[in-house]
Chain A
Amino acid sequence: MTTVTDAPVPEPTETGVGHQLADEVRLDLYRTMVLARTYELAILREYHADKGPGFDIGKGLIPGEMHLAAGQEPVAAGVCAHLVPGDAVTATHRPHHFAIAHGVDLDKMTAEIFGRETGLGRGRGGHMHLFDPDAHFSCSGIIAEGYPPALGQAFAFKRRGSGNIAVAVTGEGAANQGAFHESLNLAAVWKLPVLFVVEDNEWGISVPRTASTAVPSNADRAAGYGIPGHRVEDNDVDAVYEKAGEFIERARRGEGPALLEVATLRLFGHFEGDAQGYRPELVDVPKLDAIPRYESRLIEAGVLDDALRQEIAEAASERVEAAITFAKDSPLPSADEATKYVFTEEA
């Protein structure tokens, strides 16, 4: 655990990080980001492999909407590095990076995305509705509505004195929903151990945050509920790690919730098939990617070299391809059981 709360504050670097994190911490953050990115690229490949001719969203081994989180890995890696067994995460419609960073079973998650009986939801959920009770992980396809259940998990943790916390994730578009504001207020009133995370990827599908949001930083909104708020600029994983660590420790100490917004990047479209005609700087988007930038920093700092980079990439690829093979080799659910599991009596 590294926090900066009690440490002397050195001169900020250009990335906003006050001091260097331990090498092992930074390598772990890098590994998590690489695994999440490798996963999204593999899903991208599989998703588009059989959508043709043309693009039919309902076709293929992975049918339906697909919201990939490529570009947003620093948020999940930096936050989830602080989580311990029993901590909960509720994620969004774009959930894979948080699921991976939080240790959701990759085979079962991939099988769910492929709609298989071995999936987390036995093919009933899909990629926006992933539930892993062992990891206390869930996500919701409804904007901001993952926040309230996180309060309940935190409420149960507090009641039981487990010391666990809940992380509730939304995008910046969700910060204009009622559920967001109700949740911040209630968590503050009851001092629930929650970290609210806002992933500001600048776009609510096609609407830029400047056209949707009255304040420059959603972290400012924390003041309205009497809780700490902080915005990390520049998709900086080290800075996410530090501030999330501080807020999570605070919540574990019983001092209540906090809000962390991260200026991040949606590397792809809102969903696959989104041509993003509304996004004028589209050609420059890949240059903003945080992972190669972090990689260079680690190499410059002597934390990473080519051999290790290769090793991490290969390990990630091996793990991801194994999950995809597991999913593809798994049986489809039986059509006779399409309505099974509405009630517990059927489970």
Chain B
Amino acid sequence: MTTTAPSGRRLNTSKAMAEAIAQEMRANPEVFYMGEDVGSYGGIFGSTGGLLEEFGPERIIDTPISETAFIGLGIGAATEGMRPIVELMFVDFMGVCLDQIYNHMAKIHFESGGNVKVPMVLTTAVGGGYSDGAQHSQCLWGTFAHLPGMKIVVPSNPADAKGLMTAAIRDDNPVVYMFHKGVMGLPWMAKNARSIGVVPEGEHVVPIGKAAIVKQGSDVTVVTLSLSVHHALDVAEQLEGEGISVEVLDLRSLVPLDREAILESVGRTGRLVVVDEDYQSFGLSGEVIATVAERGLALKAAPSRVAMPDAPIPYAQVLEYAVLPRHERIEAAIREVMG
């Protein structure tokens, strides 16, 4: 994560994610992984690479293209004490199975007065930047976070991908694990420099609900997550040379949201930029700003947000890059709040 690379074994994010799954599957026979093309293909985005060979088709399970049926199957198995990890290939596909997710997975514990647990992980790929168009490029984490009853984790780097996966599998609640295709370190997609990093070899747990300051700074806080963390770090490193000290806060979890970390950082810097690859209105960026506003923090400048405009994501690269929260827009927002 930093300019001076720490020593240790390096993995890309998809391998780090698969390693956490493998370690938990070795430790707990109730854990299994299920989804479309997670077996011999290894997951379209590499989430289960190599797992079929070790665990076999009884525990790394290819499903029909029937998201309602197999996500619901995961829910039922979880209520019987198993610990399913179920993959929704693209988060954009939530439209065909949302009832199982938000009316069942997320509500059963509450509706049962705490008597029935649903210890399940729903993994899903998010994000754009590679011209996959309006139906395969969305983040939608704000939509999931808006619906109560699910924890939401969004790793930005290999070590967190492993640690948050371990925590998610061990959690007794439903956890939605949203991995950005652009941080996975896939050989067939433009690689972010930080998508390969040092990952602890043994047990590694990142607690759910704890944000991380990935770069310290004193002039402005950039609150962000997922692939945008890397864009923000690039911009922060560049502005450092101009004497603008940018702090970058990686939320890592949306539910629970580490509001104290946001308030602590913004309280120090007095300036706030939120960078969010989800749609701008009614979502995470507004929630972060509201958190600061409700606490009555005195800011040196009005907060700013860099998010996807409220429009479907366009296909042509020139158009998509115009709406993504990329470096130029982040830099402009930071300069704006610096005055």
Contact = CB atoms under 8 A, between A and B. Distances in A.
Interface string B84-119: 100000000000100110011001111111111100
Contact of B64 (A138, A150, A189, A344): A189
B195 interface: no
B148 interface: yes
Contacts of A345: 173
Contact of A178 (B68, B108, B151): B68
B77 interface: yes
A314 B108 CA distance: 36
A287 interface: no
Interface in B141-158: 148-149, 151
Given A125-B111, A140-B104, A342-B109, A149 B66 contact: no
Contacts of A317: none
B75 A341 contact: no
B205 interface: no
A134 to B, nearest CB: 9
B112 A151 contact: no
Contacts of A340: 114
A121 B148 contact: no
Contacts of A150: 76
A164 to B, nearest CB: 9
Interface residues of B, number: 40
Nearest to B114: A347
A338 to B, nearest CB: 11
B248 interface: no
Contacts of B240: none
Contact of A186 (B73, B99, B172): B73
B98 to A, nearest CB: 11
B82 A159 contact: yes
B161 interface: no
Interface string B52-73: 0000000000011010111111
A152 interface: yes
A178 B64 CA distance: 14
A152 B113 contact: no
Contacts of A120: 112-113, 115
A296 B117 CA distance: 46
A182 B81 contact: no
A152 B68 contact: no
A88 B173 CA distance: 22
B78 interface: yes
A264 interface: no
B74 interface: yes
B77 A148 contact: no
Nearest to A112: B113
A122 B110 CA distance: 9
Contacts of A133: 79, 112, 115-116
B111 A121 contact: yes
Nearest to B59: A159
Contacts of B64: 182, 185-186, 189
A131 B111 contact: yes
B234 interface: no
Contact of B79 (A124, A129, A138, A179): A138
A340 B149 CA distance: 11
A142 to B, nearest CB: 6
B100 A151 contact: no
A123 B75 CA distance: 22
B72 A341 contact: no
A145 interface: yes
B80 interface: yes
Given A145-B103, A344-B173, A131 B69 contact: no
Contact of A151 (B76, B82, B96, B103): B76
Contact of B76 (A142, A155, A185, A189): A155
B137 to A, nearest CB: 25
A341 B73 contact: no
Contacts of B80: 88, 136, 152-153, 156-157
A156 B76 contact: yes
A155 B77 CA distance: 7
Interface string A153-192: 1111101000000100000000000110011011001000
A138 B109 contact: no
A147 interface: yes
Contacts of B99: 142, 145, 179
A346 B82 CA distance: 21
A153 B79 CA distance: 8
Given A178-B68, A185-B64, A342-B148, A149 B104 contact: yes
Contact of A156 (B82, B103, B110, B116): B82
Contacts of A185: 64, 66, 69
Given A147-B72, A342-B149, A186 B66 contact: yes
A119 interface: yes
Interface of A: 88, 90, 119-125, 129, 131, 133, 136, 138, 140, 142, 145, 147-157, 159, 166, 178-179, 182-183, 185-186, 189, 340-347
11 contacts: A131-B108, A138-B79, A142-B103, A145-B68, A145-B100, A147-B69, A148-B100, A179-B69, A179-B72, A185-B66, A342-B148
Given A145-B72, A147-B69, 10 more contacts: A124-B113, A131-B108, A131-B112, A138-B116, A152-B73, A152-B76, A156-B77, A157-B80, A341-B112, A341-B114
